[in-house]
Homo-oligomer: A and B are copies of this chain.
Amino acid sequence: MAPKIKDVAKKAGVSVTTVSRVLNGEKYVKDELKLKVKHAIDELGYAPSHIARSLVRKKTDLIGVIVPDLTSSFYSTILSSIEETASLNDYNLLVCNIIEDIDKELKYLNVFKQMRVDGIIIMHEKLSDEIRSLLNKLEVPVIFSSVKPIDQKFISLIIDDYQAAYDATNYLIELGHERIAFIGGDMRDITSGQNRYVGYRNALTNNHVKIIYDYIKFGDYKMQKGYDLMKEILACEPRPTAVFAVSDDMAVGAMNCVHDHQLKVPDDISIIGFDGSQLTELVRPRLTSMEQPIHEMGKLTVETLIQLIEDQEGSPEEDLILGHKLVVRDSCKVNKKEA
């Protein structure tokens, strides 16, 4: 149905090779023929089949992306940046949204394999054994963005989660807080679970602030969980004066919980988030957060992956650690010491 290269060749009175040549912008074609071919293409509304081209070139210009949750503000923003950069480099995205669904992830990884994607971006770190082994057998570059799964040969783009969590906690301590609660992630996650937790703990310890285990909770990075855990925290006697949540979503959940208990942020309780998602500016009070360079992270993820794909010189062989940054907004305040 759709016109093929042969049709164009016939119409222009040249060989398919010549058509292919003008399509691929090669030099050795007389201007006159080039024009003829272009006319034929326009008249026929011809678009070369990327499928056929991929088959012979053994390159699909496709990048497979595995996102844990499209509806999270962090992931949708980083995906947006990934998409932008990919498009700029003439790569296309095959997107898979896995919601803690191992089977779906496995299925998609196989789809990626069958689709012969040129590279894969993964944004979570709870890799099942099956996934790991599949990944290791894959012949295409894989890159992790915002996470670093343990025991993997692949490159990660991350911030120093330990230090970022340390700095966030330290900020609360500097504000004079001594009862600081922690709403953590999933301890099966090294990057966003363990590292951030250890950062929190070490900041307390190094500053001789007492660790109170009732103040320490673990969740799943989602708003609802932040809300629920905050409820537990508010039940503690005495109440903490500050909370560090390891995702903005959980921080907002915590803020809402505080609000629903007729307490005020930051007057009664200071809250600091983590990620630097859009949420920070969207809530009131605006959320102070330890920010990841989300946009840059997405961009660099794709650029690095493309380097790997195209095997350019100087493709990095090690993780890229980006800088984190504390952005102070309105959700934390100085703790007035009790008399």
Contacts and interface: CB of A to CB of B under 8 A. Distances in A.
A51 B259 contact: no
Nearest to A107: B87
A115 B50 contact: yes
Interface in A131-166: 137, 139
The 3 closest A-B pairs by CB, nearest first: A50-B114, A70-B80, A76-B76
A71 to B, nearest CB: 5
Contact of A114 (B48, B77, B79, B139): B48
A307 interface: no
B51 A80 contact: no
Interface in A105-141: 107-108, 110-111, 113-116, 137, 139
Interface residues of A, number: 51
Interface string A86-105: 01000011111100000010
23 contacts: A1-B139, A2-B116, A45-B137, A49-B55, A49-B114, A50-B116, A51-B60, A51-B116, A70-B76, A70-B83, A71-B73, A71-B77, A76-B76, A80-B97, A83-B95, A87-B96, A87-B97, A87-B107, A92-B115, A93-B94, A93-B95, A223-B282, A282-B282
Nearest to A77: B71
| Chain A, interface SS category | helix
A96 B92 CA distance: 8
Contacts of A70: 76-77, 79-80, 83
A210 interface: no
A28 to B, nearest CB: 24
Interface string A17-59: 0000000000000000000000000000101111110110000
A241 interface: no
Interface string A233-252: 00000000000000000001
A283 interface: yes
Contact of A71 (B49, B108, B259, B278): B278
Nearest to A134: B45
B278 A256 contact: no
A70 B65 CA distance: 15
A48 to B, nearest CB: 6
Nearest to A76: B76
A284 interface: yes
A220 interface: no
